[in-house]
Amino acid sequence: SWFTRNRSLAVSLVSAGLALGTTLVAPLTRWLIVTHDWRFAMLALGFIAWAVILPAALLLRPAPVTEGRSAGALTSTGSVPAGMTLAQALKTPVFWSLALANFACCAAHSGPIFHMVSYAADCGVAPLTAATVLGAAGLAALSGRIICGLLADHTGAKRTLVACLALQ
């Protein structure tokens, strides 16, 4: 199926959707806070989330089960053999390497992202414009995520991950 052949692209499209969400939600949230207050903004965002999530949940369906394999099992193309338990996975150096790399990368880029809006505001940028800076960062991440997904499907997920982590 398409998802099996283009697994990395599928994951990158989901990730690109998250970047698009940042692009749209950051300025919307700031506008709601400026025009109303933070309580109203959080309530409105909650209603918007429910209005999107509930109909989207109706579109979900289980993956088809192929002969000789359960729906959640990874194949030999993945690094985890089908049937591996959580305890077995926790004993592998690959798991801990990925966990450490994920933590280090998230710690390195989350700090600036968390403080981007407040720093821009401290520099005299208007609140709505400061939130738009965060949205622009999300928009910039969108294309990179899709390109990395395409690259991972072409050259391999492991090589792409190592190259992106080294570049970061």
Task: Give the separation between CA 46 and CA 24, rounded to whole angstroms.
Answer: 15
Cα angle, residue 118 at apex, residues 113 and 124 outer, rounded to 5°? 130
118 Cβ contact list (under 8 Å, min separation 6)? 130
What sections of 83-126 are H helices per DSSP?
86-90, 93-122
Q: Residue written as tokens 């099992």?
A: 73
pLDDT of residue 39: 96
Q: Would the pLDDT of 158 be above 90?
A: no
152 Cβ contact list (under 8 Å, min separation 6)? 8, 9, 12, 159, 160, 161
Q: How far is CA 32 from CA 50, 137, 139, in A?
A: 18, 20, 20
Q: Would the pLDDT of 72 be above 70?
A: no
Band (pLDDT 50/70/90 cuts) for residue 86 is confident
Q: Is the pTM of this model over 0.75?
A: no
State mean pLDDT over 28-55.
94
> Containing H/E element for 7?
helix 7-35
